[in-house]
Structure 1
Amino acid sequence: MPSSKSPVVVTCTAPVNIAVIKYWGKRDEELILPLNSSLSVTLHQDQLRTTTTAAISKDFSEDRVWLNGREEDVEQPRLQACLREIRRLARKRRSTGDEDPRTPSLSDRVHVASVNNFPTAAGLASSAAGFACLAYTLARVYGVEGDLSEVARRGSGSACRSLYGGFVEWQMGQRADGKDSVAQQVAPESHWPQLRVLILVVSAEQKPVGSTAGMQTSVQTSALLKFRAEALVPAHIVEMARCIQEQDFPGFAELTMKDSNQFHATCLDTFPPISYLNDTSRRIMQLVHRFNAYHGQTKVAYTFDAGPNAVIFTLDDTMAEFVAVVRHVFPPEVNGDKFLKGLPVTPVPVSDELKATLAMEPVPGGVQYIIATQVGPGPQVLDDPDAHLLGPDGLPKPKPAA
């Protein structure tokens, strides 16, 4: 017989993060412990976010999960790892008597619905935002407090960095149990207000080689990956933190590009080689270097994760010109008014001198669209019941009619 008690429901959002010092490869697959530390920039949730609703009720017969409206296998190992860890922490808290009486029973089942407002599995850090949001939401609904790095990390390594806003380091740690492999904020989102981020979406398709499989092959076959992790990254982390603290954009930009190039070099050093970049990706790299050469200083930087989409860092006084240059080199084939999403950018002309310096023939449609954003905060709780993705019955709400 159904209970009269309503489900306990919590809805949260979490951000995407983009690593400027990359994580690639694990020293422990089960605990998801990285070969090296990494450092990332948290993007603003007004443009890129995951929204997750968790509902717990004794009326639910089993755990269930939906992603972007489609039910997924709740037995997926990483999802189960997050659930087990949250329930373990909740059980530990209750054993000390330190619990909220409104917290639901651990024997009750949970339903979870999650949606991304950006392409999933296309190299835009969807798993980082997704598992950070899952960990954060489950913690709220189960009454778990404290650092959630270990919970989020069990789902996706880089997810622990999405638990904080601003600039975040995921410290690799030294302990075998992974208790010191945690995320820590280097600087808050308010630290560098002039920094802007442009995501150039080259392809919204799922990447051909998933990050997990790619990392495993790289760890097994790439000598360059091991050298990078041990000999190069520690100094890169220190230097990147300095550039952020001092708002040294040329230093930040150059190191970001070098680290991205080095990461993709390890992918090519993997056997068989992995290539996440395509011709448009390489053309964007060429465009950035020619743009910087024209200005005689480093005004724009690129970085690529495990996918062809470019993430561009620049300052607010350069963003409009670079957007105009991208539009010139990659003119939109259709929906030109929808080419730029996110933050408003005032159109500016591209000078003939700059066009001549770029010397690049236009490739219509090479970039599908641009998302303009900035540095943003960490996860948020949504108090509005209308924001819940699950209805009172614990099932996904129907999409409103268009």
Structure 2
Amino acid sequence: MADKIYKASTTAPVNIAVVKYWGKRDAKLNLPTNSSLSVTLSQADLRTLTTATCSASYEGQGDVLILNGEPSDITGARTQACLRELRARRAALEKENPSLPKLSTMPLRIVTENNFPTAAGLASSAAGFAALVRAIADLYELPSSPTELSLIARQGSGSACRSLFGGYVAWRGGEQDDGLDSKAVEVAPASHWPNMKALILVVSASKKGVSSTSGMQQTVATSDLFKGRIANVVPAHMDKMEAAIRDRDFAGFAEVTMKDSNSFHSCCSDTYPPIYYMNDVSRAAVRAVEAINAAAGKTIAAYTFDAGPNAVVYYLEENSGPVVGTFNSILAGTDGWKEGAQAHASAAVPLDEAVSSLIKGGVSRIIMTGVGEGPIKSEQHLA
């Protein structure tokens, strides 16, 4: 059966951190300077689909990666670290049971597709590496839990370890030099707080100016604010965020989400030379969220920004009226609104004209989504 093709497919989600990962204590093993916590978003709206195949008939071709229809570099140190670890685990199974086919020796062909813009600050590498690791683990029939696999995915992209779970996920930064305690765990499943929603304002779908990898190392090396963030800010935020999720306390969740985003971007601007991921449109989105909360007389919306200008606004489904209504009233003609979004227009909060015009002129796409599940095996094979 030299020409037999073995295959497995999986989808994996995007996650958006509410307590940010920024900075490495070990670049080779991708060990973070701090713990982080994220919300996994629904794969109906944002997902990577990956098919992993291997066959003796691929001999002489080497490993191949096709991303969104184009050949992609598979020789990078991070990708290779993941493949090496997965192969070693399969080889151990084959050694234990010599009757197993020798998949660990066969070249891999990996085909992957995103249903959202790649490298636009939408956590594409997180979903990508989570799908790659999960698909190959399924192909190799590895008896690995999501937490075990998170140790591998982390070496590809730090935040990928969190995309191996659904719901609310913590990446414990760990203290060991070997990184074996730097892994992801589920804080709560999606079903614990299912009415959490996210409205993403895609400000720019182009590649970012400063990549996360180089940006975070500049911050670690040069920012004085960052030292305080690591020592005091993040540990306090992690404790408060886990309590807010446990108690389904949106006001507590929102306060930490916004403060942590502000802290992260302050450290970026305190980097030498400074890094600015947010732009005028991003700042207008912050003002819009503040206006929505002021009109409600309580906190019903929370903004957060990753290493890019896109605004992610978290809110509970029961507060869709003022949150969705406000942004829809400005951006009704923008792609991405789901059916029924216009029905909230009557609950829109009036915004300052300068804020409205910045948002209207600067947002190219809307993504309406919510909390969702972790990787799912798929019968849809790309190869």
Q: Is the 8 A contact 1:287 1:358 kept in 2?
A: no
The aligned amino acid for 2:42 is: H
CA distance in 2, matches of 1:25, 1:328: 38
Q: 1:287 to 1:358 in 2, by over 3 A?
A: farther
CA change 1:113–1:56 in 2 (3 A) is same
Counterparts of 1:361 and 1:206, CA distance in 2:
25
CA distance in 2, matches of 1:359, 1:295: 21
Shift of 1:320: 3.6
Secondary structure at 2:240 match in 1: helix
Counterparts of 1:210 and 1:89 in 2: how far apart (Å)? Answer: 32
Equivalent position of 1:19 in the other structure: 17
SS in structure 1 opposite 2:116?
A: coil
Distance 1:64 1:129 in 2: 19
How many residue pairs are counted as aligned between the two chains? Answer: 377
* Residues 197-230 of structure 1 deviation map (CA, whole Å, 9 limit, x = unaligned): 1111111111111100101111111121122012
Q: Does 1:340 align with 2:333?
A: no
Conserved 8 A contact 1:103-1:143: no
**1:150, 1:361 → 2: CA distance?**
44
| Aligned pairs (5 A) from 1:191-340 | 191-330=192-331, 332=333, 336=334, 338-340=335-337
1:388 is aligned with what amino acid?
H
Q: 1:67-86, aligned counterparts within 5 Å?
A: 67-86=67-86
Counterparts in 2 of 1:42-121, with a 5 A limit? Answer: 42-60=40-58, 61=60, 62-97=62-97, 101=99, 103-121=101-119
Structure 1 SS opposite 2:113? strand
Name the amino acid aligned to 1:67.
Answer: L
CA distance in 1 between counterparts of 2:57 and 2:323 reads 54
Question: d(CA) in 1 for partners of 2:96 and 2:265?
Answer: 48
Which structure is higher in helix share?
A: 2
Identity percentage of aligned residues: 48
Q: Given that residues 221 and 270 in structure 1 are in contact (C-alpha distance below 8 angstroms), is that contact kept between their aligned partners in structure 2?
A: yes
CA shift, 1:159, in A, is 0.4
Q: Indicate the RMSD between aligned Cα atoms, in angstroms.
A: 1.8
* Secondary structure in structure 2 of the residue aligned to 1:59: helix
Specify the code of the residue in structure 2 equivalent to 1:71.
P
Shift of residue 344, structure 1, vs aligned partner:
5.1
Q: 1:38 to 1:137 in 2, by over 3 A?
A: same
Instruction: Give the whole-Å Cα distance in 2 for the aligned partners of 1:194 and 1:106.
Output: 43
| Residues 80-138 of structure 1, C-alpha deviations (whole Å, 9 max, x = no match) | 111011111222333344x8x55543211000011110111111100000000101011
Equivalent residue, structure 2, for 1:168: 169
In the TM superposition, what is the alpha-carbon distance from 1:145 to its structure 2 partner? 2.1
- Match of 1:183? 184
Q: 1:104 to 1:12 in 2, by over 3 A?
A: farther
Amino acid at match of 1:137: A
Distance change >3 Å, CA 344–CA 115, structure 1 → 2: farther
Residues 329, 360 of structure 1: 8 Å contact kept: no
Q: 1:356/1:106 Cα in 2 relative to 1: closer, same or farther (>3 Å)? A: closer
Residue 367 of structure 2 aligns to which amino acid in structure 1? I
SS in 1 for 2:104: coil
C-alpha distance 344-155 of structure 1, shift in aligned 2 (>3 A):
farther
Deviation at 1:272, TM superposition (A): 0.6
Q: Distance in 2 between matches of 1:297 and 1:7?
A: 57
Change beyond 3 A, Cα 1:230–1:94:
farther
1:24-69 per-residue CA deviation (whole Å, 9 max, x = no partner) reads 0000000000000000100010110000011100111211101111
| Counterpart position of 1:374 | 370
For structure 1, the residue ranges without an aligned partner over 5 or more in a row are: 391-402
* Contact residue 131 and residue 152 of structure 1 kept, 8 A: yes
TM-score (norm 2): 0.94
**Residue type matched to 2:196 in 1?**
L
1:35 aligned partner: 33
Is the Cα contact below 8 Å between 1:56 and 1:104 reproduced in 2? Answer: no
- Which residue does the alignment assign to 2:125? 127
- Distance in 1, matches of 2:321 and 2:362, equals 19
Deviation at 1:330, TM superposition (A): 4.2
**How far has the Cα of 1:174 moved from its partner?**
1.1
In the alignment, the residues of structure 1 paired with residue 329 and residue 342 of structure 2 have an alpha-carbon distance, to the nearest angstrom, of 15
* Distance in 1 separating the partners of 2:347 and 2:352: 10
Paired residue for 1:139? Answer: 137
1:393 maps to which residue?
none
**One-letter amino acid of the structure 1 residue matched with residue 253 of structure 2:** F
Residues 1:279 and 1:84: Cα distance change in structure 2 (over 3 Å): same
Report the alpha carbon displacement of residue 77 of structure 1 after superposing the two structures with TM. Answer: 1.4
Q: Which runs of 5+ in 2 are unaligned?
A: none
